[in-house]
Amino acid sequence: MSDNVWDYKIFWDEALKEIQQEITEQEYIMWFKNMEYIGSTESSVTISVPSSFYKDQVTQRYQSRLEDLLFELSGQRISLNFKVVRKNNPGKKKIQEREKANLKVETPKKKKKHPMLNPEYTFERFVIGESNSFAANAAYAIAKNPGKGYNPCLIYGGVGLGKTHLIQAIGNSAYQEFDNLKIVYVTAETFANEFIQSIQNKTGHLFKNKFRSVDILLIDDIHFLQGKEGTQEELFHTFNALYDSNKQMVFTSDRPVSELKSLSDRLRSRFERGLNVDLQPPNYETRIAILRKKIEEKNVDIPDEVVELICKNIKNNVRDLEKALTKLIAYAELVNKNITLEIAQRQLKDFFAEPNQKNITIDIIQKVVADYFGLSYNDLRGKKRTKAIAFPRQVAMYIAREMTEYSTTEVGLEFGGRDHTTVMHACQKIEDRLKTDPTLEPTILHLMREIKEHRI
């Protein structure tokens, strides 16, 4: 196509520069680094993409904007055509050869490995979607300028949504970016255990030196500190020392600080002093992107229809997506078969199936919901109808109907002898609110996970 009289490559290159200014670096790397200009006609430009998935995603997300940019740059309407060029295609091979040649010339800087951090947890391997873009961009900004802006930062969200990945990505990125930077990563449980050990061994000065002389302190799962007054006291003083020295602190939690019980008010106020960002369960498009990224990293061939099957059935977290993919890959390797939709449906049938709910009781549901909303177990079963109690009670009734086989009459009896019509009304109220309140579904999914874990 290079000898074609209609050569719009210059406009395409300029359009890429423009779009790069409008989106995040992660987003640009993910979607545009895998594209290649193929050629053009009088009214169109053809671009290669590596898979049908990429074609669908790029068409949906960026085609309209790219065509507008091409119009602004060229003065005429140019349509974009995306063509799938797979790995064994000669065009793709040339691209790979060029990339290899570039790598030889550039001789990239060798990466250092931090002893406390998992090298797999990087920003490059974190897929950004609507549910996590704010948290991911905040984390990236912190890594580039530690102690300058968002300090402290608290990242919170449910199990398997990427909290540990993001907090360690901050450490890994900063460790590569800055020389002689002291970075400490620990879980809250490790912090508490080391503090207790320092008291027993009378080595408090060593403990203080370890945590108060850092440039970046990363503490995972601070909800573990609930009720541990001595450890909270020590963290409070560590926090003040680092904050006064403009040293960066990042924490993670499975819930907002306001919902952490048995936490001292002054420590709570310290966590709330900076930036608090949440991670929501990934939407369908993000789940697709995450799974595609994992498949690409593992260099396996999984049909698009299998990816869609997994993502339609697994909605709560990234960890479960990875488990399903790992099972399929293991099966393919052990029996030496290509993965098909039928094989995936058969192998993941138990994985997709709803867990056995027989051991989930209304009593457990009431205790978990009451604890989450800061109420007593008796509040949900009692006669009070205040707004602070009525809504959590409706949530508990809804979850009871969703997770158990109890009838509305049986559920009503467990909630202070209420009539079955009350239960039906409560469930309808929650269903209606789910359609208009985007924060409610993640809350209910979180509660359901807590109930399942409580049962286990």
- DSSP letter for each residue of 297-354: HHT----HHHHHHHHHH--S-HHHHHHHHHHHHHHHHHHT----HHHHHHHTHHHHSP
* Same domain as 225, residue 146: yes
Check residues 98 and 401 and name the one with the higher pLDDT.
401
**What average pLDDT score do residues 149-161 get?**
86
pLDDT of 175 reads: 92
Tally the domains of the chain: 4
User: Span 215-235, mean pLDDT?
Assistant: 92
Q: Which domain holds residue 377?
A: 362-455
Q: Is residue 128 part of a domain?
A: no
What is the arithmetic mean of pLDDT over 179-197? Answer: 92
Asked if residue 303 is part of any domain, the answer here is yes
Q: pLDDT grade, residue 217 (50/70/90)?
A: very high
Of the ranges 152-161, 194-203, 256-265, which is most confident? 194-203
Mean pLDDT (whole number) for 111-139: 86
In a domain, 317, yes or no: yes
pLDDT of residue 99: 45
- For residue 122, tell me if it sits in a domain: no
Residue 78 in contact with residue 63, Cβ under 8 Å? no
Q: pLDDT tier at 356 (50, 70, 90 boundaries)?
A: very low
54 lies in some domain: yes
The CATH number of residue 150's host domain is 3.40.50.300
Q: What is the reported pLDDT for 359? A: 66
Name which of 301, 297, 313, 304 is nearest 339 in CA terms. Answer: 301
**Cis bond upstream, residue 152 (ω within 30):** yes
Domain end marker among 245, 279, 313: 279
pLDDT score at 102: 47
pLDDT at 100: 46
Same domain, 264 and 288: no
Which CATH number does the domain housing residue 436 bear?
1.10.1750.10
Distance CA 251, CA 221 (A): 7
My answer on whether 274 and 187 are in the same domain is yes
Q: Which of 279, 309, 329 is the last residue of a domain?
A: 279
118, part of any domain = no
For residue 331, give the CATH number of its domain: 1.10.8.60
- With a pLDDT cut of 90, the percent of the chain lying above it is 27
pLDDT score recorded for residue 183? 95
Shared-domain flag, residues 257 and 300: no
Give the pLDDT confidence score for residue 352 in this predicted structure. Answer: 74
Q: Domain boundary at 279, 310, 327, which?
A: 279
- Residues 322-331: contacts with CB within 8 Å, 24+ apart? 322/294, 323/351, 324/348, 324/351, 325/291, 325/294, 325/295, 325/298, 327/351, 328/302, 329/298, 329/300
Mean pLDDT (the chain) is 84
Residue 22 pLDDT exceeds 80? yes
Greater model confidence, 111 or 219: 219
Q: What is the pLDDT of residues 272-293, one digit of tens each?
A: 888 898 888 888 888 888 888 8
Residues 416 and 373 in one domain: yes
Structure tokens at 395: 């949530």
pLDDT at 193: 93
For the whole model, what pTM was predicted? 0.57
Q: Tell me if 124 is assigned to some domain.
A: no
As a whole number of angstroms, the distance between CA 63 and CA 286 comes to 18
Residue with tokens 């079963």: 381
Instruction: Report pLDDT digits (tens) over 436-450.
Output: 888 888 889 889 888
- Closest to 69 in 3D by CA, of 34, 45, 102: 45
Q: Quick one: 137 and 261 in the same domain? A: yes
Q: Is the pLDDT confidence value at 389 over 70?
A: yes
E strands in 114-238: 153-157, 183-187, 216-220
pLDDT tens digits for range 306-352 = 888 888 888 777 888 888 888 888 888 888 888 888 888 888 877 77
Our CA dihedral for 3, 6, 9, 10, rounded to 10 degrees, sits at 110
DSSP state of 250: E
Q: What tokens appear for 162 in the block?
A: 């990427």
- Calculate the alpha carbon distances from 123 to 141, 266, 343 in Å: 11, 33, 33
Over residues 299-312, the mean pLDDT reads 87
Using DSSP, state whether 83 is helix, strand or coil.
strand
Q: How many CB atoms lie within 10 A of CB 80?
A: 18
- The reply to whether 91 and 56 lie within a common domain is yes
In this prediction, residue 240 carries a pLDDT of 93
Same domain, 161 and 259: yes
* Residue at token pair 């060798």: 110
